[in-house]
Amino acid sequence: MLRDARRAVIFTGAGISTESGIPDFRSPGGYWTKHAPIEFQDYLASQELRREAWRRRFSMEETFASVRPNDGHKAVAELVARGTASHVITQNIDNLHQESGVPADRVIEIHGNTRYAKCLDCGMRMDLEPIRVHFEQHGDPPDCPACGGIVKTATISFGQAMPELEMALAEEATLACDLFVVLGSSLVVYPAAGFPVIARRRGAKLAIVNREPTEMDEIAHLTLHSGIGPTLKAAISAL
Ligand code: NAD
Ligand code: ZN
How high is the pLDDT of residue 36?
Answer: 87
In short, whether 156's Cβ falls inside 6 Å of ligand 1 is: no
Ligand 1 pocket test, candidate residues 18, 24, 228, most atoms within 8 A of CB: 24
CB 114 within 8 A of CB 82: no
Q: What is the CA radius of gyration of the chain?
A: 18
Strand partners, 207: 181, 222
Strand partners, 125: 118
The region that residue 113 occupies, defined by phi over 0 for left and psi between -120 and 50 for alpha, beta otherwise, is beta
3-class SS at 7?
A: coil
Ligand in closest contact with the CA of 186: 1
Q: In what order do the strands lie in the sheet with 222-224?
A: 107-109, 85-90, 8-12, 179-183, 205-209, 222-224
Q: State mean pLDDT over 156-170.
A: 97
Alpha-carbon distance of 61 to 202, in angstroms, equals 40
CB atoms within 10 A of CB 195: 27
Query: Up-side HSE of residue 210: CA atoms within 13 Å toward CB?
Result: 27
How high is the pLDDT of residue 96?
Answer: 98
In short, whether 200's Cβ falls inside 6 Å of ligand 1 is: no
Q: State mean pLDDT over 162-185.
A: 98
The bridge status of strand 205-209 relative to strand 179-183 is parallel
Query: Up-side HSE of residue 221: CA atoms within 13 Å toward CB?
Result: 15
- Work out the percent of the chain whose per-residue pLDDT is above 70: 98
Is the pTM higher than 0.75? The answer reads yes
Ligand in closest contact with the CA of 126: 2
Alpha-carbon distance of 59 to 38, in angstroms, equals 16
In short, whether 13's Cβ falls inside 6 Å of ligand 1 is: yes
For residue 30, pLDDT over 70 is answered with no
- Per-residue pLDDT of 99-128, as tens digits, reads 999 999 999 999 999 999 999 999 999 999
Which are the catalytic amino acids? 111
- What is the DSSP secondary structure assignment for residue 105, as one 8-state letter? G
- What is the DSSP secondary structure assignment for residue 146, as one 8-state letter? T
Q: State mean pLDDT over 138-150.
A: 96
- Per-residue pLDDT of 34-80, as tens digits, reads 788 999 999 999 999 999 999 999 999 999 999 999 999 999 999 99
